[in-house]
Amino acid sequence: MRVMAKSSSVALLVVLLYFRMVVGYRPVLLMHGIADNYKSMEGMVTFIKDAHPGTPVYNIDAFNDADSFLKMWDQVDGVQKKISPIISNATDGVNLICYSQGGMVCRGFIEAFPDHNVKSFISLSSPQAGQFGDTDYLDFFLPNFTRDNVYRFCFSEVGQYVSFCDYWNDPLHQSEYEKCSDFLYPLNSGKQPDYKSNFMTVEELVLIGGPDDGVITPWQSSHFGFYDDKLDVQPYQSQGFYISDAFGLKTLDEEGRIHVYNISGVEHTHWHTNKTVFDLCIEPWLK
């Protein structure tokens, strides 16, 4: 009797293991940040493969280094072409982990392409409500501009050819932003109804960021928070695009599909290499 019970539980275990291997985990796609390349995400590939052996992981080798400064819509289109064979092959959908600017590329892809099948969209320290703060690359490329006047360059036709201008937001120059921003403003304003329906097909929206980031400004932009016109940061629930449910953020929130992680002690350049961050905020959403 005992022997039989034991062997049948071993058999059950074998069946369960086999089932897990057959069902497997959804493919995961990774997109790197600005002034960087796909190799920067290799540590993340290892984290995923160690946690969930057998997961197909596609580390998107596109818009590396200097190319990461190209216009955001061009990056979105290039990434779409690159990943479309993968996503159309993934009948059960895919998960995306997109770091920093990569989170904006992924956001553009999700909103603009109706046939995406993204289940978990993991936005790892990405300025989803915009960036309004100095960065090294701003100082390097536009040394004659400051945070307060760079809108004159960024909110121009020429400026919109530079990736970081495409998600620049200036709380004190909202009319120029609305007129000239051809990436972030369309994504956040919901002026195109299909952007909202495309965005809302994402099952889980995972927003990771924290107060020690040092690059994303305000850091709460990683959670869709942003400055008001007095330069006080307001949470995502107070943003106009949330209140009007412009692109589905409010619906997702009401349905419990937004997962916000506020993590201290992580500088911007460490998010994608931090195992604690992976274990705590990312692994649970890779199903």
Ligand X SMILES: *[C@@H]1O[C@H](CO)[C@@H](O)[C@H](O)[C@H]1NC(C)=O
Residue range at the interface with ligand X (CB under 6 A); choices 30-38, 84-92, 126-134, 199-207? 84-92
Q: Would you call 275 helix, strand, or coil by DSSP?
A: helix
Residue range at the interface with ligand X (CB under 6 A); choices 59-67, 76-84, 185-193, 264-272? 264-272
Dist CA 282 CA 165 (whole Å) = 28
Q: Is residue 272 among the annotated active site residues?
A: no
Nearest to 189 by CA among 230, 116, 247, 276: 247
Residue 142 contacts ligand X per CB under 6 A: no
Q: Is residue 268 among the annotated active site residues?
A: yes
Q: Is residue 213 among the annotated active site residues?
A: yes
CA 117 to chain centre: 15
Asked if residue 226 lies in contact with residue 129, where contact means CB atoms within 8 angstroms, the answer is: yes
The least distance separating ligand X from the CB of residue 101, rounded to whole angstroms, comes to: 19
The least distance separating ligand X from the CB of residue 88, rounded to whole angstroms, comes to: 8
Residue 277 contacts ligand X per CB under 6 A: yes
Q: Which of 146, 197, 237, 276 binds ligand X (CB under 6 A)?
A: 276
E strands present in the chain: 28-31, 57-59, 94-99, 118-124, 204-209, 226-227, 233-234, 258-262
- Beta bridge pairs of residue 121: 96, 205
Residue 263 contacts ligand X per CB under 6 A: yes
Residue 265 contacts ligand X per CB under 6 A: yes
Nearest to 225 by CA among 132, 146, 152: 132
Residue range at the interface with ligand X (CB under 6 A); choices 13-21, 95-103, 178-186, 259-267? 259-267
Residue 60 contacts ligand X per CB under 6 A: no
Q: Which residues ranging from 85 to 124 are in contact with ligand X (CB under 6 A)?
A: 85-86, 89
> Structure tokens of 32?
């790197």
Asked if residue 177 lies in contact with residue 160, where contact means CB atoms within 8 angstroms, the answer is: no
Dist CA 69 CA 281 (whole Å) = 28
Q: Of 100, 120, 123, 163, which is the active-site residue?
A: 100
Phi, psi of 97 (to 5 degrees): -120, 115
Residue 264 contacts ligand X per CB under 6 A: yes
Q: Which of 54, 114, 211, 240 binds ligand X (CB under 6 A)?
A: 211
The least distance separating ligand X from the CB of residue 23, rounded to whole angstroms, comes to: 13
Cβ nearer to ligand X, comparing 100 with 190: 100
Q: Of 116, 173, 223, 268, which is the active-site residue?
A: 268
Cβ nearer to ligand X, comparing 30 with 277: 277
**CA–CA distance from 111 to each of 23, 28, 101, 118, 195 (Å)?**
28, 18, 16, 11, 4
Residue range at the interface with ligand X (CB under 6 A); choices 6-14, 106-114, 200-208, 269-277? 269-277
Phi, psi of 253 (to 5 degrees): -65, -45
Can you give the binding site for ligand X, defined by CB under 6 A? 85-86, 89, 144, 211, 220, 235, 262-266, 270, 274, 276-277, 280
Active site residue ranges? 100, 213, 268
